[in-house]
Amino acid sequence: MSSKTTQARTALAEMAKDGAFARVDSVHRSTTVEPVAGRYHLYVSVACPWACGALQAISIKGLNDVISHSITHPTWQRTRPDNPDDSHCGWVFRKASDEPLSNSNSHGSFSGDELYGSGDQIEGCSSIRDLYELSEDTGGKYTTPVLWDKKLKKIVNNESTEILRIINKDFNELANNKSLGLVDLYPEELGEEGNRLNDIIYPNINNGVYRCGFASSQAAYELAFKDLFDALDQMEELLSKQRYLCGSKFTWIDLRLFNTLIRFDEVYAVYFKCNKKLIREYPNLFNYTKDCYQVKGMSGAISMYHIKTHYYTSHVGLNQHSVVPLGNKIDYCSAHDRARFE
């Protein structure tokens, strides 16, 4: 494994001089794969919205038997607990039968569940950091999703949108149902519109909630807050006219927006101080969230236990004692009004 432990960091360290959160791009960016069943493995946290989307794409495309996956424990842990000079905390693997984990300050007790019951059965790693170092990473930020090549024992890609494109186009012939293989999350005729919307949604909503939550100055927070709710108002208006973001067809940009919206009321409104309005106060966005949740392949990757446990227990600088708010139990399987656009 690499010895470059001094580079280990998390997104919380990515700050501009003005106190704004400035996410650094992923570094593993190969998009070349050999479409062979069983060669690739996806490592994810289902608390992470970016990773969740990749796992959902596998289900939507009928590739669960083609690309296997492992799920981490939701609570970050010290990744080098025996090294007092290395304080990095990140995603770790545990089995459902293991003892509950506390946060890195030894507060709380957070038990396992069936989602991550097998640990890492591919490489036997104890953390996502171990995988990166096995792949001779030099970036030092150990994120999910990770598309892993089991044959070469290395990371193919850790940029979520690029992994989505790989899953969408390269394994269609291997889908367990040919009709699912034909599902296209990136339809060519909607490519320009999807990219235009992503230029609004990614910086202001997907990343916008993090810009609010991780801001270390009032000015940076207020700018992010305004950008976030201006963009949400834009999406509310757009979705008053059509079922999905690009029209009548569910696409990758819906998947991306959904994974922020589903976390918003329970986490971002509270934890990241995004408290102007809840998603359930936006009639179109709320019904749209339920509609997307009910798309086949979407709900299996959503665990509110993982989502809330991760956010409220992993960033000890934001929530030292890891007290998890109870919140509301929203039934996303309940009726929605989006079929009115059919």
Catalytic residues: 48, 210
> Residue 71 in contact with residue 44, Cβ under 8 Å?
yes
How deeply is 195 buried, as exposed, middle or buried, from its count of CB atoms within 10 A (0-12, 13-18, 19+)?
Answer: exposed
CA proximity to 42, closest of 123, 148, 151:
148
Closest CA to 170 of 31, 320, 10: 31
Buried b (16+ CB within 10 A) or exposed e, 220-248: bbebbbebbbebbeebbebbeeebbbbee
Per DSSP (E only), the strands in the chain are 40-44, 68-71, 77-78, 89-90, 146-149, 154-157
Return the closest-CA partner of residue 211 out of 281, 142, 260: 260
> Within 13 A of 105's CA, how many CA atoms are on the CB side?
14
> Which DSSP helix (H) or strand (E) runs through 179?
helix 178-181
- Residue 317, Cβ density class (10 Å: 0-12 exposed, 13-18 middle, ≥19 buried): exposed
- Distances in Å between the Cα of 141 and the Cα atoms of 14, 17, 254, 303 are 10, 20, 27, 24
The helix/strand/coil state of 203 is: helix
3-state secondary structure of 42: strand
